[in-house]
Every structure is written in C-alpha cells, then in structure tokens.
Amino acid sequence: MVGLHSRKAGQAFRTSAIVIAGLLVAITSWDGVMAASQPQKVVELFTSQGCSSCPPADELAERLVEENENVLTVLMPVDYWDYLGWKDTLASPIYSQRQRAYAARRGDRSVYTPQMVINGEEHVVGSREGQVRSALERTEPFTADVDLKISDMVVQATVDGALPRGAKMATVYFLRIDDEATVDIGRGENAGRKIKYVNVVRNLQPIGMWSGGSETFRMTKSQLDLKGDARCAILIQIEDQDGPGRIIGAAVMDWRGGF
C-alpha cells in the first residue's frame, strides 16, 4: 500500500509539474507578438477641445507622429476648460493634475494650453513649431532601455540601464493610446469645428518602480484594461516627493491584431 501511494503521489507530482510548465509556456510565449520600438524623446501635449489656440498644436502633434519614430508624441487632454461651454470628450482630471505637478516641480506654476512638455522637463507653447523642435534638440539621451512585449495574456516590460546621478527611483508607467479620434465640437470656442486628435492617452497607470539594473515588470492584460486602443507605451520617469520629472526611457507598440 505504501508503494502504491508513493507511485500515485509521484504521478500526481509529475502531472502537476507538466501543468505548471504548460502554464508558464503559455504565459511567456511571445510567438507572433509585434516588435516594440524605443523612441528616444517623448512629447506630451496638454490640449483641450475648448481651447481655440489648441488646433494648431494638435496638427503639429500629428506631424510629429507621422514624421519621426524616434519621438513618441502623445496627447493628454485636460478638463479645466470644460466650464467654458463644452465638456472635452477625451479629457481626464489625471492629465490636468499631471500638468500641474510638472509646473510645481519646475517651480514656474506655468499651466496652460496648448503646452508641450519635452521628456518630462522643458515646456513650450505647443503651437510654436520652431520652439518645439529646438527643445527636442536639447534633450539628454535616455539612460534606460525598455523591451516591451505583449502576449495574449501578459504585458511584459524589461527595463535595463542606470538612473541619472542623484536619482533614487523611477516609476514605470503603462499608457493605453488611441491612435486617432475625430470630434465634432458642438459648443465653446471651437464650436462647429471637426478636430482630429492622434495618439490620445486613454489611461496612464503605474505598474512598478525601478531602481536601476535589469528588471522585468509583468501584468495581465485584463488588469490593464486593453480595449479597442491601437497602441500602448511604457515610460520610465524619475519621480520623488516633488512629483514626476525627467523621462529616461520609453517603448511603444502597435498591438491591435497581433494576437
């Protein structure tokens, strides 16, 4: 009887091991997954459907997206102009707060639309193309490499590199991005206009903290609420008690239809 129980226990252990191995293969299998690119500059445009000065900046953002894969340009629509008569259909208070946090960290309290923030640091009027391109030329090189992969179950970001001198920690952000949205503006300063928006951030979510070296961050796709969005991105951003600061790494992937 002891031998029978031992054989059964051994068979059960082997069966469990096979099942676990199968699950691990399923989770870590990346066959058919589209490759992510690693831009070396990030532009965040804080814009609003209720801002009459914003459409030229929205158009500039579209040109940046189309012409340069080395620059990740994203739109973060803010909600603080909603009281002017039109509620921005893409806005989030999270992006308004992020813009204010940038201003507080810089110490200039400069919050306006359209505003472009370059690599989490320098800000310029988003419609002034010459100033935007000059700011992009002044950026410092990223210090973190990001390998982004997505399977049918898991989002995985492997970060490798070093923090800049004096930095202790960086936040790993996951962004859901809608590649294009066209909005008919019914009221407010842009009433009657149909405006196209590209690379609109639909969710900005921290998935971990990185302190240098090589580290892998994983989350299930269900946790990240991937819906109909066409692409996603990872940002590595210095962050401390003063709020978000310099962006030191990024990756972006068009994932729709990849699974």
Asked if pLDDT for residue 16 goes beyond 60, the answer is no
Residue 173 forms part of a structural domain: yes
Q: What is the pLDDT of residues 207-255, one digit of tens each?
A: 999 999 999 999 887 766 666 667 899 999 999 888 899 999 999 998 7
- The number of domains in the chain is 1
Q: Identify the residue with better confidence: 182 or 19.
A: 182
**All residues at 6 or more sequence positions from 188 whose CB lies less than 8 Å from its CB, including other chains:** 49, 50, 81, 84, 85, 86
One-character DSSP codes across 170-186: EEEEEEEEEEEEEEE--
Q: Is 91 helix (H, G, I), strand (E, B) or coil?
A: coil
Residue 49 forms part of a structural domain: yes
CA 149 to chain centre: 14
Asked if pLDDT for residue 151 goes beyond 90, the answer is no
* The token pair that represents 89 in the structure block: 């259909």
Residue 56 forms part of a structural domain: yes
Q: What is the pLDDT of residues 68-119, one digit of tens each?
A: 889 999 999 999 999 999 999 999 999 999 999 999 999 998 999 999 999 9
Q: What sign has the CA pseudo-torsion 179, 184, 190, 192? A: positive
Residue 7 forms part of a structural domain: no
Residue 151 forms part of a structural domain: yes
- Predicted confidence at residue 51, as pLDDT, reads 96
CATH number for the domain harbouring residue 235 = 3.40.30.10
Residue 242 forms part of a structural domain: yes
